[in-house]
Amino acid sequence: MHAASMKGKPTMYKTALRKLTIAILTICTAAGFTAIPIKTIAANSPFVKVSVGNTHALALQKDGALWAWGINALGEIGSGNRDYQSYPVKIMDDVKTMEAGWLCSFAVKKDGSLWSWGSNTGGLLGTGASSEDRNHFYPETDKLLPVHILDNIADVAACGSSYIAAVSEDNTLWTWGEGSHSLVPTRVLDDVKKVSFWSTRMLIIRGDDSLWIAWFNYSTKRLVQPIKVAEKVADVTGYEQTALVLFKDGTVKWWDGYPNEPDGMGNESYLPPEYSTNIKAIAVRGHYCMVITDKGELFEWGSSQKGLIEEYTYYDLWTGEIIEEGIRDYTNIPFQPSLRLDDCVSASGYYTWIGLAIKADGSVWAWGLGNLGVNLPPGIDRYTTPTMVFTAHGDPVAYLSEYPIVPTGQPSSWAKPEVEAAIVAGLVPQELQQNYQNNVTRGEVAQMFINLLEKASGQTVEEFMAVQGVSVDYTVFSDTDDPAVLAANALGIIEGIGSGRFDPDGVLKRAHIAGLANNIAKVLGVETEGYAHTFTDVSGHWVEPWLGWPVHAKIIEGEGDNKFNPEGLLTTEMAIVLAYRALTPLSKQNLHNP
């Protein structure tokens, strides 16, 4: 088949997938689990709680309706698909509490049933199975819709990277995941009121309000004897670098750094009394701590900021230009929160990337890196101050007035000249000439790189393969028969993910485009060895030896400060720009002058 006849036609796989999706959604609607695109959230039932994951967020209404939004590469929002979701969609009703994890989610319904969905890497969903990795979607083990895993549950903690914990209504602790001793929920401890995570350690409040720290032995997978570390504790929360504790007398204490042996605690500090009066909620965001007072005042501070000198630089995500830089000196100044927001009822964060808060009127506010699709202006990767991103009715808020709104059908300003040139050059399939800010898929990139090969070589893909003596294996993948994918795979441009699967709808990271650029260069006879780069954030990463030639050929640039960000997700416009930049160094007349 001529390459031109591949373009714009849905494959058998995509057609079958649509039919399967319709069938699944029909069944799930009958069961009460279909994601409903938001029009208006009831004014008499505002959002009251928020939970932030690595690439998504969950928000709970007063009436128990659970909503979600985010990147959704592995089904972490629970909508029944893997579509990027920039505004809330309804997931289920009658929810009591919820927790967003790394790439998965958990909800406890009012009847005590516990549900999970998203990536099942490490067996975190509690289904008894486990997915191979977090880089691909595995339909046999990952879950696009909520699945029921346990009953009689009161609360769940999903911040663990290797296992999950839940507390039952009779105050017993249950755990599961490869970091524990079972892939299904297993009872491990009695007399537990609350559990949270601090790195791989569990922070446990017992029935007498004492605080204990416990963990699983890495080798034996058995629970280590819990250690008592505090008394008269009202609440506790934590993440990788910080544990935050609220005591019964209103005192707030935190430990920063990672848990140490033998007692498992790090450096401790206390929140000054003027900021710890009548605290009703606590939360963490990486090494940042948050408290909310009974007056709705939210204070956030860096858990290790006191007594330090911190140099900081904020870069534009795409151009690498410095947005803001300076030095923060905390050595001889009184403690002072770095952020304050009024009228808050709930707050949550994940690592140091993103913070979200719910105000009393139900509106959603965000600050930090925008990896949740929370309505960031084009070319900007963070909100430096809290900014309302959804109204009380869930409607997205327009970008800040100084930034233009980019229509769905238009590329961002930084990418527009090269995207338009790439379209003129015939590199961009018709179906990719829209939604430029969406994540690009593996199947879409395969089609674009076949177009790139044809333009660079001056031959159709069939002619090129015939000269190279390469033929297509039509049975190599069980999940796609797309001719472009099969051709790109046969030529060695892009590989499958194993077990006879290609995952055409899987998303790509920045590291992958460097590998693809090297692969197509080698197919076209370009020498890619012997070139260096200066990126400082790829040491030990698989992409490190693959970056030299794409940098030399001016195909790939960093994000500033000698950083490449290999794990950053690849958008459609980014992939188009990189393909266009590769056209000149790969073209036939330049093959001997790389």
Selection from 359, 344, 403 nearest residue 378 by Cα: 403
Q: How many domains, the chain?
A: 2
| CA-based torsion, 545, 551, 553, 555: positive or negative | positive
Interatomic CA distance for residues 120 and 176, integer angstroms: 12
Indicate whether 450 and 359 sit together in one domain. Answer: no
Domain boundary among 390, 420, 452: 390
Same structural domain, 54 and 168 = yes
**Cα 57–chain centre separation:** 9
φ/ψ of 529, rounded to 5, equals: -85, 155
Do the domain assignments include residue 579?
yes
For residue 53 the two structure tokens come to 């994951």
pTM passes above 0.85:
no
Is 28 among the domain residues? no
Residue 202 pairs in a beta bridge with 197, 214
Residue 32 lies in a domain: no
* Residue 248: strand pairing partners: none
Q: Identify the DSSP state of 4.
A: G
Helix (H, G, I), strand (E, B) or coil at 21: helix
From CA 423, how far away is CA 486, in angstroms rounded?
23
- How far apart, in whole angstroms, are the C-alpha atoms of residue 568 and residue 543? 13
**Which uninterrupted H or E stretch holds 263?**
none
Q: Which of 328, 359, 390 is the last residue of a domain?
A: 390
Q: Looking at the structure, do residues 348 and 451 belong to the same domain, yes or no?
A: no
Q: Are residues 355 and 477 in the same domain?
A: no
Beta bridge partners of 311: 327
Reading the chain (594 residues) residue by residue, the pLDDT tens digits are 333 323 333 333 333 333 333 232 223 333 333 333 333 444 457 889 999 988 889 999 989 999 998 888 899 999 999 887 877 889 999 999 999 988 899 999 999 999 999 999 999 999 999 988 877 889 999 999 999 999 999 999 876 668 899 999 999 999 999 888 789 999 999 999 999 988 778 999 999 999 998 888 877 778 888 889 899 999 999 887 788 999 998 888 888 765 654 445 656 777 877 777 789 999 988 778 899 999 999 998 875 554 444 445 554 444 456 666 766 555 555 567 888 899 999 999 876 568 899 999 888 888 876 556 555 554 455 677 788 888 776 666 643 333 333 344 678 888 888 998 888 888 998 778 877 888 888 999 999 999 999 999 989 999 999 999 999 999 999 989 899 999 999 999 999 988 899 988 888 888 998 999 999 999 999 989 999 999 998 998 999 999 999 999 999 888 777 888 888 888 889 999 999 999 988 885 454 443
Judge if 555 and 419 occupy the same domain.
Answer: yes
Say how far apart CA 507 and CA 11 lie, in whole Å: 19
As a whole number of angstroms, the distance between CA 486 and CA 443 comes to: 10
Asked if residue 453 and residue 347 are part of one domain, the reply reads no
Q: In terms of domains, do 581 and 460 share one?
A: yes
Same domain, residue pair 378 and 421: no
Strands of the 242-247 sheet, one edge to the other: 233-238, 242-247, 252-256, 267-270
Spatial CA neighbour of 386 closest among 349, 426, 340: 340
Buried b (16+ CB within 10 A) or exposed e, 71-98: bbbbbbbbbbbbbbbbbbbbbbeebbbb
Range of the domain at 425: 407-590
The verdict on residue 251 lying in a domain is yes
| CA separation, residue 30 to residues 23, 33, 204, 443 (Å) | 11, 8, 39, 32
**355 and 433 housed in the same domain:** no
